[in-house]
Structure 1
Amino acid sequence: MPVTEILQWVDQLVFKQTGNHLNNLQKNVVQGIWEGKTYAEIAKEFGYHSENHIGNVSRELYKILSNQLGEDINKSNFCSTIERLKNSFNWPNSSQVICIGNNSSFNVCPLNQKNNSNSNKDNQINLTEKSYHDLTLAPKITHFYDRTLELQTLSRWLTTQNPRLISVLGLSGIGKTTLVKQFVDLNLSQFDVIIWKSIKLSPFLDTIITDIFTLINSELIQTDNKLTQLFNLLRQQKCLIVLDDVQDLFTSGQLAGNYKTEYKDYKTFFTMMTEIEHQSSLILIGQEQCQEMLCLDEQLYPVKCLDLKGLDNTDILKNWGLKDEQSWLALLNLYEGNPVYLKDIVSTIKSIFGGKVSDFLREDTLLLTEEMKFRLGELFDRLSPIEQQIVLELSKSNQPVSREDLRDALALSSTDFINGLQSLQKRYLVKSIEGEKVLFDLSPVFREYVRIYCQK
């Protein structure tokens, strides 16, 4: 049995008992024990100084696993007991799916096979070889600039590695939706079913699932087991589901990634996507990463995250009627390579400066258009009060600020300060710079907005 499979199962058991996933030390200990190594050998192989410390960590794991599995587990019986119990506990495999009960608990239920009796046929999904594509809510891509590496990465993941959950993340306007749509346009034949939905337009999971089956076969829709039917589909057909604007699932005024009450069923759905065996993928496009992915190790779980940065090539400016090509890179850097910012500011340069980029740059100002102010205002309004305090303080300086200086300037507890900084990083508004001291810096365009429009 592969060690990665054992690591994933042990990780789930530990998480159920403690609320925490395995850390690196615990993963190394489990791997070493599974491979029959002594505590001394584990310590030596993974660079730990104390054999006793390895033993202490192991005994704590044995205790957790014993409580979860109802048997006394120790080093001598770890491998045999774990392998035996893993099979007997019916861990989800190719013939099972996890169903959600009314209390959102997970229960393992067998999937119906093709030769099931008529009494069970209402859970079956019998599809022909026909492809089903619903891209009515996806944008039409007319130009695609400078995302070759990111497109190759996305293509490699989805065509060879079969991750079940992918996040494509970055600031508003950075090109997330365009990138994913370009991939879809180039790979339509790779999937039996492709569904594109926007949370802004279709926010409820139940509605999305109903729409999927309406597209394929309305006779399959049942009110009491829609999610079970969906995972039947994801196993039997190679599906790609794209959910855009995922940040709209989360509550404004709180730290990043906190679900609105009415959308908490997505939390369960995203978790199930990573834990159930199937051949399909779900892409989440948004400005905030869901918590279900943050705590999962990509080495153990079928998840991937693609962070999108600004463009670093001026090709995007070539067909926009600008002059002074030697100044284009400075303009690109000023607006952080954000395609939406650039498109907006180009309109101003053409109408006010006759398309002369050098004349605009001589103004020596980071001009914010009305469209930019609207987008940046939405970002600021989503922040929690703690995050707003932090960005207001950071906006006072044009240089990165050390963690110590920032903390001293704010009347925040250590917990609020650390959580606030981490949340701002999840939103791609603050970046950390490692050196002799860890420094933090705001996105320059966002800093200008906060400095001008948010200072009291």
Structure 2
Amino acid sequence: MTITEILQFVDNLIFTETDQHLDDLQKRIIEELFKGKTYKQIAELYNYDEGYIGDESRKLFKTLSDKLGENINKSNFAWTIERVINSKIVSFGGNHNINSYSNCQNSNHPSNNKNSQETEIQKSSYHDLTLSPRIIRFYGREKELEYLSNCILNQNTPLISILGLSGIGKTTLVKRFVDFNLDKFEVIIWKSLKYPKSLNLLIDDLLQVCKQQPEKNLDDKIKQLFNILSTQKCLIILDDIQNIFTPGELAGKYQPEYQDYQPLFKLVTETQHQSNIILISQEQCPEMESLYPELYPIKSLEISGLYHSDILQNTGLKNQDSWLDLIKLYTGNLMFLKTITVLIAKNYDGEVVEFLAENTLHITQQIQSHFQEIYNRLSPIEQQIVLQLSKFENPISREELRQTLIETLNLSSVDFNNGLQSLQQRYLVSKLKEDKVMFSLSSVFREYVRNLSFTLN
């Protein structure tokens, strides 16, 4: 059972009893209680007084106790809610819509007579988060969450792209935002393009979630979709967008069979509606950037590494004082840290100091496979540039890099500039501004490319 399902269920119970949805703090308290955190730990995590967190929790327990007819307290809160949810799922014949119980209660609640508009919203709400990830732990990213909230809830930006290297935490960040804002949208749909499908089939899926029969041709389906985006407050998340781009070409070039996604994204920004689309991608395309964001309805949030020692809690690692050094070595990438943590646990008995003492950036088999997939997506020009860049330990200026490539590979200035820009759009090359502009490969990717270069030679 996911925390999203639990939050939805508790939110519906609270709403039927109080006519109010859970606020952000209440959602955080529920999530942390389900992780087994104490009031003191929750207070420290979110900068609140411990007594205040206790008071807010007890108010929640009181409301839920009245609603469910059970004595709910801190010690039995988590298992009681899970037991009630499971019992309601069984009683509805295996229907996994956990809102069924509270929706049933809504029909006799006096708020239905007071606020018919709210009732209509409840009736027409469709949430499909089947393909969204389950969040077990979440640390930091307060600024990123605040940025997302401002873009979507305050500015109502129609198209937002969340960008960064794979494993950096893009999907987890968006899921966290969704968990905290379930009540802000009538329609929430999460779709993964890990195995991409045509736009025609994707829109069929979106319409069917909203209980609409798709029209026969694509233009009519798009009209149906935009009618929903205009009449209801929708949030649609499309994850793994990079898979609709062409491998072996510069970043952001659509595969022919997915070319019609491009006009759809443009239409989202040019058509008047009240909804929001979030694109999650490792690769940037022209529709994801805007030179004048204050004038154009597009926002991009680029996610970098997470340097927070708590992300290694409960991993079995020792030498906690050295955890931050390990995190920095692997650029705060959660996927890299997950696989290297397993290696340290098995080969070094969890001794982080012993691992770091070797002064070697280990590339595990999982990291190697991951980068092999990324390297194979690069164009030949990009491959030449990264092979050359991997020879330099320190950042290098654009002119020095260009001159080296022209002399050794006879690469034209046009090809060089296009390739360098594309690598930045893939978040493999960083631009550093010091006395002059310098460029550098991501350190973990650089180590992979060096190993690759050795095998090629």
TM over 0.5: yes
* AA matched with 2:203: I
Match of 1:257 among 236, 246, 252: 252
CA contact (8 A) 2:288 2:298 kept: yes
Equivalence for 1:158 = 152
CA contact (8 A) 1:213 1:221 kept: no
* AA matched with 1:312: Y
Query: Are positions 1:448 and 2:447 aligned together?
Result: yes
Equivalence for 2:109 = none
Cα distance in 2, alignment partners of residues 158 and 299 from structure 1: 14
Q: CA deviation at 1:283?
A: 0.3
Equivalence for 2:331 = 336
Deviations 1:40-81 (A, max 9, x none): xxxxxxxxxxxxxxxxxxxxxxxxxxxxxxxxxxxxxxxxxx
Return 5+ residue gaps in structure 2 as ranges: 1-119
Query: Are positions 1:240 and 2:235 aligned together?
Result: yes
Equivalence for 1:418 = 417
Equivalence for 2:78 = none
Q: CA deviation at 1:128?
A: 7.6
Match of 2:310 among 308, 312, 315: 315
Equivalence for 1:205 = 199
CA contact (8 A) 2:239 2:280 kept: yes
Equivalence for 1:428 = 427
Match of 2:296 among 277, 297, 301: 301
Identity of aligned residues (%): 53
Equivalence for 1:266 = 261
Equivalence for 2:127 = 133
Match of 2:404 among 394, 405, 409: 409
Structure 1 counterpart SS, 2:411: coil
Equivalence for 1:278 = 273
- Aligned pairs for 1:314-393 (under 5 A) are 314-393=309-388
Q: CA deviation at 1:293?
A: 2.9
Cα distance in 1, alignment partners of residues 139 and 338 from structure 2: 13
Q: Which moved more, 1:169-178 or 1:205-214?
A: 205-214
Cα distance in 2, alignment partners of residues 293 and 242 from structure 1: 14
What is the total number of aligned residue pairs between the two structures? 331
Deviations 1:164-215 (A, max 9, x none): 0000000010000001011111111111111111112342211111112212
Structure 2 counterpart SS, 1:254: coil
Q: Which moved more, 1:305-314 or 1:194-203?
A: 194-203
* TM-score, structure 2 as length reference: 0.70
CA contact (8 A) 1:394 1:441 kept: yes
Deviations 1:92-124 (A, max 9, x none): xxxxxxxxxxxxxxxxxxxxxxxxxxxxxxxxx
Higher helix residue share: 2
Report the CA distance shift for 1:220/1:440 in structure 2 as closer, same or farther (over 3 A): closer
* TM-score, structure 1 as length reference: 0.71
Deviations 1:213-263 (A, max 9, x none): 212224354435001111111000111110000000110111100000000
Structure 1 counterpart SS, 2:213: helix
- Aligned pairs for 1:170-209 (under 5 A) are 170-209=164-203
Cα distance in 1, alignment partners of residues 122 and 130 from structure 2: 22
Report the CA distance shift for 1:396/1:228 in structure 2 as closer, same or farther (over 3 A): same
Q: CA deviation at 1:132?
A: 0.1
Report the CA distance shift for 1:296/1:271 in structure 2 as closer, same or farther (over 3 A): farther
Deviations 1:364-413 (A, max 9, x none): 11001111001111111111111111100000111111112111111211
Deviations 1:268-325 (A, max 9, x none): 0000011000000110001111212324521111111000000111110122111111
CA contact (8 A) 2:290 2:296 kept: no
Return 5+ residue gaps in structure 1 as ranges: 1-125
CA contact (8 A) 2:385 2:419 kept: yes
